[in-house]
Amino acid sequence: MMMSGTAQYSTKISTVLLRDVKNYIYRNRCFLGIEIGVFLIAAMISDMQLPAQCRTYGILDNFILLFRGIYPFTGGQGDVFQLPMSWFVLLYLCVCTSLFYPVHDVTGFGLQILLHTNSRKQWWSSKYLALMLWNILYFLIGFAVLIVFRTIKNGGKIEWISASFPLWTISFHSAILLCLLPVLFGLLLSSVCLFASIFFSFAWGQIIGISILIIVAFTETPIPFGSYSMTIRCNAITAGGVIEWHGIVLYLALILLVFFVGQFSITQKDFISKSEVTLYEN
């Protein structure tokens, strides 16, 4: 006899989402300390790389520094391509921690919910929203680390942006836009890798994530979606660079696009292999 299809799990999006959020935090709890350490080390390294007279700056300045990135590689004589390590590691860690839970869940109890739920679209929506929430939490924790770090470095004074920082002079509004860009890029990259991991494999999700990061760092595509994630390539810091709010609109549109493509694809994919069907029949 085949496994009965009458058993139904709750399809309320709030119930499934609450389960996913709880499991995200539980699954990634050991990575929270790693994340805090990575943000702290990156902040310390970026601070030490500045001249002594430049080491008094604001919290938003510090966040912009971490995701400053590099200009596209020109390949001139004597030039050697180097990854911007703070930018790369912080974004790659965001992707990794975003994928561990959903990939593990889709091969376990989460698969049973998917196969017995009334709506696969709600299952995908829950996974997608939980991933977005985890990404936001990831960057909020990192931002909290920078608040503590810069407050200590500035002698107990909380300063969001410094008007005397010699590397750039930008308004508070521009600083907020610059800080949003790597966050939204992280959300977009994680969502693309989630799609690849669910519909293909975890390995493909990792390969795609790393490849996108390297390509973005190495060059500038005709539609510079990746360049928006590097604050040094933005117009607020480099005259003639990409316009910040264009990147915000583009990232939000692409995040929604991945969501709707996933909603359609989840209804078409067969999650039961032939061996599993035989097992159920026996």
> 89 or 50: which carries more pLDDT confidence?
89
Question: CA torsion, points 55, 234, 188, 64, in degrees to nearest 10?
Answer: 10
pLDDT in tens, 5-62: 444 455 566 777 888 888 888 888 888 889 999 999 999 988 887 777 666 788 898 8
Q: At what angle do helices 85-105 and 59-66 cross, to 10 degrees?
A: 80
| Spatial separation of the C-alpha atoms in residues 244 and 234, rounded to whole Å | 6
pTM of the model: 0.84
pLDDT of residue 118: 58
Mean pLDDT of 73-93: 77
Residue 272 has pLDDT above 70, yes or no: no
Q: Which amino acid is at 185?
A: F
Mean pLDDT, the chain, integer: 81
| Spatial separation of the C-alpha atoms in residues 215 and 72, rounded to whole Å | 10
Share of the chain above pLDDT 90, in %: 33
Mean pLDDT of 215-225: 74
Give per-residue burial for 179-204: e unless 16+ CB within 10 Å, then b: bbbbbbbbbbbbbbbbbbbbbeebee
pLDDT of residue 48: 84
Nearest to 59 by CA among 143, 180, 168: 143
Q: Count the Cβ atoms, other than its own, within 10 Å of residue 124.
A: 22
The half-sphere exposure of 120 on its side-chain side, counting CA atoms within 13 A, is 14
Question: CA torsion, points 207, 82, 228, 223, in degrees to nearest 10?
Answer: -70
Least-confidence region, from 33-37, 42-46, 93-97, 224-228? 224-228
pLDDT in tens, 161-180: 877 676 777 888 888 999 99
pLDDT of residue 143: 95
| Spatial separation of the C-alpha atoms in residues 10 and 116, rounded to whole Å | 9
Least-confidence region, from 3-12, 156-165, 175-184, 235-244? 3-12
The residue to which tokens 């350490």 are assigned: 37
Q: Select the highest-mean-pLDDT range: 5-9, 79-83, 180-184.
A: 180-184
Residue 129 has pLDDT above 60, yes or no: yes
> Where would I find the H helices in the chain?
13-27, 29-48, 59-66, 85-105, 109-116, 120-153, 172-199, 202-218, 244-266, 274-281
